[in-house]
Structure 1
């Protein structure tokens, strides 16, 4: 039977929703136990949150001052050491965090990593996207060694929280941590809008907006819907919005219940980032735009006319 260790992703004392999505993936592996590892300077609040996720058997905490910031060089030796305590799988979200930490863990354990797990066919057999999501490949990892894998969070719903009360246990790891990497600072945008990668609704704009000033209609509609704001790579490259709003192959992969694409033609790189969305609405003046091929609802016309009318109709 599988015994799975999930590395918790967190920031500012709060658990990232991707951790609960990893738990859903782990359940598909029919594991004997699913444990969550929390590395932090003060892991108490994060561990308490993780313990409420349905399906979690136990939460392990490592409280060290060096864990105050999520540095891959510092986290990886501790994760690798924890994994040696009988775990068959080590998982983390396929986010910037997971993509940074887990390859180092795999290297320390001497195994190859399985990236972007999107479906489970067996304890060591998975499906994952390749070629910018244009094809899905089935991969099988050796059963005789620890499996290290990142989970494509857009492919899984978050496990429910609240009904569970998993025990929280401190974990003592005798691991020497490297000192060649140190935390200097973190700069990030502040917003009252929902997080782009976990939002249920997303309103996104493309190059057709024409300027950063015109992007205000995207923000306005998003606020009316209580949605996050996203953008195509073309809009980001044009300087209309910052790069952290970029959706697609080279940006963020999302799976909201509702995705509204405004002035976005629908290049394959962008479609890769939204293919798991529930309902896709497209607004574009070009009736032949590729976005309409995957949209559930489409409006053909001038976005500067249609978007204000849509916002007005919302009341």
Structure 2
């Protein structure tokens, strides 16, 4: 391949509920850093129906160019039409790097693109960097059960592609004064040629999402049992927070999988994160290490979690947590903003 033909850092702009998904805005922030290092453009690819107006949001968050495929055939996500549109764009404009959010849609689309383009794909990336001179993307992710960080390279092919976990990158502060170039693209697709049809959209009752919570109280196997784990629920209720858990807790059946924080669960970045009875294995830490304030409670003074927290309490959770619950009930008579609760916690 002639690498000189490939230019620019691209982000697939996933659309969710009529807006650009938060993970795509985070990737624009990461992509901006990569593009500036390579002295090249940052572009977004927007596919959907009546989505052209969303390009202004992409410019606000750092994009220079947005390629838009706006057609009723894209009203619902389906692998085939979205894949054909993105392949068309890649063949025309040849990006050096193409990033996707590691969401169900992003993972599906990225893997489909990787089967057609002569290139590879790094999945669930948590760290991104690029060599300034060569343009080689350094995509790092936990490997071997989270015990090491592996940096994966694609030396022989372009574009270099990666899916990136939500919440591990930071979106840039929005700048409404930024503008950019919209490139309207077209591809001939007929509904009758599509092999899948969307007959009906059935929405589940919305569950509390821990990746959107400002306060998370997470418990581990140190809570001893499902009954002991109820202390985690009680503290979370007092603080107006969400409940998180380690993998061991989920596998023991104490709580549902969507509460799991870590490499095989959810990545979270709350303002306050309690890690109670959690040893601090790298598989868990990788999912919460970017929290603004981490408070650990563990009776083992040598527990690895104390290397990853801002405040650590060595002691029995069954003695400490009830005391915290009572104190917070006194200090926080009603749920406040997370920033206010954060100050109350510091004082308590």
Normalised to the residue count of structure 2, the TM-score between the two structures is: 0.75
User: Structure 1 or 2: larger helix share?
Assistant: 2
SS of residue matched to 2:92: coil
Alpha-carbon distance between aligned partners in 2 of 1:136 and 1:38, rounded to the nearest angstrom: 32
User: How far did residue 289 of structure 1 move?
Assistant: 4.2
Alpha-carbon distance between aligned partners in 1 of 2:7 and 2:214, rounded to the nearest angstrom: 32
Q: How does 1:230-245 map to 2 (within 5 A)?
A: 230-245=244-259
Name which of 118, 124, 128 aligns with 2:127. Answer: 118
Alpha-carbon distance between aligned partners in 1 of 2:205 and 2:303, rounded to the nearest angstrom: 32
Counterpart of 2:75 in structure 1 is: 68
User: How far did residue 126 of structure 1 move?
Assistant: 0.4
SS of residue matched to 1:42: coil
Q: How does 1:164-243 map to 2 (within 5 A)?
A: 164-175=178-189, 179-183=194-198, 185-190=201-206, 195-197=209-211, 199=213, 201-207=215-221, 208=223, 210-211=226-227, 215-223=232-240, 227-243=241-257
Summarize the Cα distance change of 1:239–1:47 in structure 2 as closer, same or farther, 3 Å threshold: farther
Summarize the Cα distance change of 1:186–1:246 in structure 2 as closer, same or farther, 3 Å threshold: farther
Counterpart of 1:21 in structure 2 is: 26
Tell me which moved more, 153-162 or 96-105.
153-162
Alpha-carbon distance between aligned partners in 2 of 1:17 and 1:228, rounded to the nearest angstrom: 20
SS of residue matched to 1:197: helix
Alpha-carbon distance between aligned partners in 2 of 1:117 and 1:308, rounded to the nearest angstrom: 34
Larger radius of gyration: 2
Alpha-carbon distance between aligned partners in 1 of 2:67 and 2:151, rounded to the nearest angstrom: 32
User: How far did residue 64 of structure 1 move?
Assistant: 3.0
Alpha-carbon distance between aligned partners in 2 of 1:57 and 1:246, rounded to the nearest angstrom: 37
SS of residue matched to 1:51: helix
Alpha-carbon distance between aligned partners in 1 of 2:23 and 2:293, rounded to the nearest angstrom: 21
Counterpart of 1:270 in structure 2 is: 284
Deviations 1:16-63 (A, max 9, x none): 22112211222232352112122223314543432321x211223323
Is the 1:248–1:274 Cα contact (8 Å) retained in structure 2?
yes
SS of residue matched to 1:280: strand
Structure 2 residue 16 is matched with structure 1 residue 11: yes
Summarize the Cα distance change of 1:187–1:143 in structure 2 as closer, same or farther, 3 Å threshold: same
Query: What's the Cα RMSD here?
Result: 3.1
Q: Structure 1: where are the runs of 5+ without partners? A: none
Alpha-carbon distance between aligned partners in 2 of 1:132 and 1:32, rounded to the nearest angstrom: 36
Is the 2:11–2:100 Cα contact (8 Å) retained in structure 1?
yes
Summarize the Cα distance change of 1:173–1:160 in structure 2 as closer, same or farther, 3 Å threshold: farther
Summarize the Cα distance change of 1:73–1:276 in structure 2 as closer, same or farther, 3 Å threshold: farther
Counterpart of 2:342 in structure 1 is: none
Is the 2:139–2:162 Cα contact (8 Å) retained in structure 1?
no
Deviations 1:90-111 (A, max 9, x none): 2112333322221111211121
Normalised to the residue count of structure 1, the TM-score between the two structures is: 0.82
Counterpart of 2:148 in structure 1 is: 135
User: How far did residue 200 of structure 1 move?
Assistant: 5.1
Name which of 78, 85, 92 aligns with 2:100. Answer: 92
Alpha-carbon distance between aligned partners in 1 of 2:27 and 2:69, rounded to the nearest angstrom: 20
User: How far did residue 2 of structure 1 move?
Assistant: 3.1
Q: Structure 2: where are the runs of 5+ without partners? A: 1-5, 333-348
Counterpart of 1:305 in structure 2 is: 322
Deviations 1:128-180 (A, max 9, x none): 12224432333332366222222344442112213323344432123567733
Alpha-carbon distance between aligned partners in 2 of 1:186 and 1:101, rounded to the nearest angstrom: 21
